[in-house]
Amino acid sequence: MTARPSVTSRISTSRSLGPHIQSDSTTLISASTAFTGTQPISLGPNVIIQLRARMTSAYGPINISENCLISERASIGLLSPPAPTQAEGEPTGVNLAPGVVIESGATVEATCIGAYTIIEAGAKVGKGAAIGEHCKVCAMVQLGEGAVVGDGMVVYGSGWGERRSEQGRQELEGMRRKAVTEQIEVLRRCWTGK
Amino acid sequence: MSFPYTYISCPCTDVSTPINGSTEQNDDEEQERTFDPRSPRANFSLYTLEHLLYCEDCQQIRCPRCTLEEIVTWYCPNCLFEMPSSMVKSEAGRCTRNCFNCPICIGPLAVTSVHPDPVQRSLLGPWILSCGYCNWTSLEIGWQFKGLQDMRSEMGKLKIGGQYKAANSKTSASTPPTESTPDDDPDSVFTALRSFYNSQLSSSNATDPLLTPSGGINYSSPSSLARIMSLYTGRSSYGKKDPAKSTPMRESVDPSEGLQIFDPASDTAAIEKLRTQGWTSTASTAQQTEQKHPPRFTSDLRPTQAQLRTKRSKRCRTCRHILVKPEAKVQSTRFRIRLVALNYIPTITLKPLQPSPSTQLPLLDLNALPVLRASQFLLTLKNPLFDPVKITLGTPAHAPGKNSHKVTILCPQFDIGPNADQWDEALGDNKNRRASKLLSTSKVEYVGGERGKVAEAGKVWEKGRNWTTVVVEVVCQDVGEDGEGEDVLEIPVFLRMEWEGDTMEREEGGSGSGGGGGLKGEERKEKRELAFWVVVGVGKVGRLEGPTLAASP
Ligand SMILES: [Zn+2]
Ligand SMILES: [Zn+2]
Ligand SMILES: [Zn+2]
Ligand SMILES: [Zn+2]
């Protein structure tokens, strides 16, 4: 596996055209969000995209389910062409399950991220990675291309990170779901004033 | 390591070199005069300027080796509670409040309630510990706390899994512990073993002077010192007892005495666990060292009490004057006294002087310096003192190491202006003001870039208010293929600075530390000088130009 390419090597070929964005009436998108690429971007209900987030669909579509929160300066979408070995019928681009929180400055190129997983500030998730449900990728952790993280795992430490599975999380799972919904609600009230 | 860098050698290391060395080491002595950054000893005397202090009384640089540290305060980094030093030892340097560290990632743990009613959560337990970073909670080892008052002692009674330890099995010697539930908690096994061997020791040789009544070993009493000395000198007569009198010590024989019988089932269980849960379930070395009784698996890790931190003051090892003294209050980050070398000796920076664009030579790359061709660098010294400073730089003609790169400082003697107020210079004459442009380290400079300036021997390249730049010329030799670190070009520079400083009137001002602005009757100037070795890391020597040049991008 090679190191993931740096953000600066990103080429936005068709800036003038822009992607086709499909969104719900409850989706909140900051005006300073940068949408680039040509492939479709779909945003579910109650999704909030904060200031200066970057959505790049040049190399694959982006699919964000409901109740996701994309924080400031986060980057979603493939920044380089996907691996050619991908089989037919497999999910392409970046897919976020409901309730995923991407914190500020994180770079997400993962193929899929499970429900109620949180990607913390400055973390990087490489191309083709698959992250399970209720996971936590701690701040500044860099997950390489094609990394697979099972459900309920915490990836912490530095660099590629160390992993551990959470035990006894059944009691706390509900709490996290509630926390995400509350966070989104508060943000919505701040933005819309109601 | 990123180039360029500057390290300063503290002169205190010279003390360790023999002063009157034998005559046969004549050649060696000559070499020791020029500081060799490659010698193994150099690693222990080189510091960045930021790490050095300055003693005003000795008028010398002070490094961590030649300062003494004193602990001012002990405090907990989590709750910032200041612990009296009398308590530190008995508490083993740990915070006595509810400050715990995560066993997985050593982050601080928060106390949270898991009361079923969310409204009552701020008031009522049960309480758990949870880590905000890695999401570990004490529920993973089955721990819930009833109260907030004495979590520490409650933790001492809990076993992994949440059961309470058998209460004091060792005191109830009359009732033998049931074989079915031996207390295998490492803590209680240890206490049982300890008390057993203590009783054995006191009964077998009650008169052993090395042992204190509590079972510890007492080295400080005169009688035990005499005994230790007799052991070394071979006179075994001291304290020798009749062997018939002392009964031999026996080993512990049952679980109440701390005996643990090896159980093959535990091994199979461990292997089974490794097989099913894999590498992630094993505790890392870092995690194990935090624990009192290092376990094999992460599931057996316990939260640890927060370790105390200290605030320290530093003294000069030679004259015992205080160099650094922090404010005693934990919350304050200020210092009462702080004599850092940054305020006394010039900062030294190096940057490449790029060849003139007209020559069409490639730009200097510090990671591949040109071989067998002169490359020029700008060495800038910035004066922090309020007095003008006279600088003399010396460098060996050939950098140390077997490759002997040629090094020349084009202007080894120069002055640096005082670090005076901006106003002084604004009110001064026009010529001065013109020269006082800001010193920029990021700007790329070219030969002949401004007003066709070319480096000349004996001439300063540029001069500002409190800084002066001179040119260093380096001709690198071919280092060939071999050796790691051989291609690094480090230049030792001997820096001598002379200036006229204000004298501190010792006899009338008293020895008040720092001389806090007493009477300013007469300002007498005193000639001062300071000399030390500086090591400037320039860069890595590239490969010999020619066929290899085409390959490099
Ligand atoms: Zn020293
Ligand atoms: Zn504390
Ligand atoms: Zn933790
Ligand atoms: Zn001193």
| A165/B contact by beta carbon, under 8 A | yes
Q: What residues of B are in contact with residue A171 (Cβ under 8 Å)?
A: 114, 139
Average pLDDT of every residue of chain A:
83
Band of the pLDDT at B370, cuts 50, 70, 90? confident
pLDDT of residue B310: 94
Kindly identify which residue of chain B lies nearest to residue A157, measuring between CA atoms: B105
Cβ–Cβ below 8 Å for A154 and B134: yes
Q: Nearest ligand, CA of residue B82? A: 2
Quick check: B169 pLDDT over 50? Answer: no
Three-class SS state of B282: strand
For residues B214-239, average pLDDT: 66
For ligand 4, the distance from its centroid to the CA atom of residue B15, given in whole angstroms, is 15
pLDDT of residue B515: 42
* More confident position, B24 or B202: B202
Give per-residue pLDDT as tens, B79-129: 999 999 898 988 888 998 889 999 988 889 999 888 777 777 777 878 889
Band of the pLDDT at B247, cuts 50, 70, 90? low
pLDDT of residue B482: 62
Peptide bond into B4 cis (omega under 30): yes
- B157 contacts B175 by C-beta, under 8 angstroms: no
Among B44-53, B367-376, B481-490, B528-537, where is mean pLDDT lowest? Answer: B481-490
| B113/A contact by beta carbon, under 8 A | no
Q: How many domains does chain A have?
A: 1
pLDDT of residue B404: 81
Nearest by CB: B133 against A138, A163, A171: A138
Q: How far is CA B101 from CA A103, B108, B111, in A?
A: 25, 4, 11
Distance in Å from the first CA to the final CA of chain A: 48
Q: What residues of B are in contact with residue A138 (Cβ under 8 Å)?
A: 133-134
Cβ–Cβ below 8 Å for A156 and B134: yes
Dihedral over Cα of B72, B77, B82, B87: its sign: negative
For ligand 4, the distance from its centroid to the CA atom of residue B57, given in whole angstroms, is 5
In a domain, A1, yes or no: no
For ligand 3, the distance from its centroid to the CA atom of residue B144, given in whole angstroms, is 17
pLDDT of residue B367: 84
Distance CA B432, CA B521 (A): 31
Cβ–Cβ below 8 Å for A168 and B284: no
Among A123-127, B57-61, B177-181, where is mean pLDDT lowest? Answer: B177-181
| A8/B contact by beta carbon, under 8 A | no
State the burial class of residue B411 (Cβ atoms within 10 Å of its Cβ: 0-12, 13-18, 19+).
buried
For residues B477-501, average pLDDT: 83
For residues B250-276, average pLDDT: 86
Nearest by CB: B135 against A154, A162, A171: A154
* More confident position, B453 or B346: B346
pLDDT of residue B209: 54
pLDDT of residue B207: 56
For residues B71-81, average pLDDT: 92
pLDDT of residue A175: 75
CATH of the domain at A139: 2.160.10.10
Average pLDDT of every residue of chain B:
78
Kindly identify which residue of chain B lies nearest to residue A120, measuring between CA atoms: B133
Cβ–Cβ below 8 Å for B104 and A169: no
pTM of the model: 0.70
- Give which of B142, B153, B155 is closest to B303, Cα–Cα: B155
| A138/B contact by beta carbon, under 8 A | yes
SS3 per-residue string spanning chain A: CCCCCCHHHCCCCCCCCCCCEEECCCCEECCCCEEEECCCEEECCCCEECCCCEEEECCCCEEECCCCEECCCCEECCCCCCCCCCCCCCCCCEEECCCCEECCCCEECCCEECCCCEECCCCEECCCCEECCCCEECCCCEECCCCEECCCEEEECCCCCEEEECCCCHHHHHHHHHHHHHHHHHHHHHHHCC
In a domain, A8, yes or no: no
ipTM > 0.90 (yes/no): no
| A66/B contact by beta carbon, under 8 A | no
Nearest by CB: B139 against A138, A163, A171: A171
Torsion angle, alpha carbons of B161, B166, B168, B170, to 10: -110
pLDDT of residue B21: 42
Q: What phi and psi values does residue B376 have, to the nearest 5 degrees?
A: -115, 145
Strand order in the sheet with A94-96: A21-23, A41-43, A62-64, A94-96, A112-113, A130-131, A148-149
Residues of chain A with pLDDT under 50: 1-15
In a domain, A3, yes or no: no
Give per-residue pLDDT as tens, B431-482: 444 444 555 666 777 777 666 677 777 888 888 888 999 999 999 888 777 6
Band of the pLDDT at B242, cuts 50, 70, 90? low
For residues B313-320, average pLDDT: 93
Q: How many CB pairs under 8 A join A and B?
A: 33
| A119/B contact by beta carbon, under 8 A | no
Give per-residue pLDDT as tens, B24-58: 444 444 445 678 888 888 888 899 999 999 998 88
Among A139-143, B173-177, B359-363, B496-500, where is mean pLDDT lowest? Answer: B173-177
Element (H, E) at B322: strand B322-326
Give per-residue pLDDT as tens, A40-80: 999 999 999 999 999 999 999 999 999 999 999 999 999 98
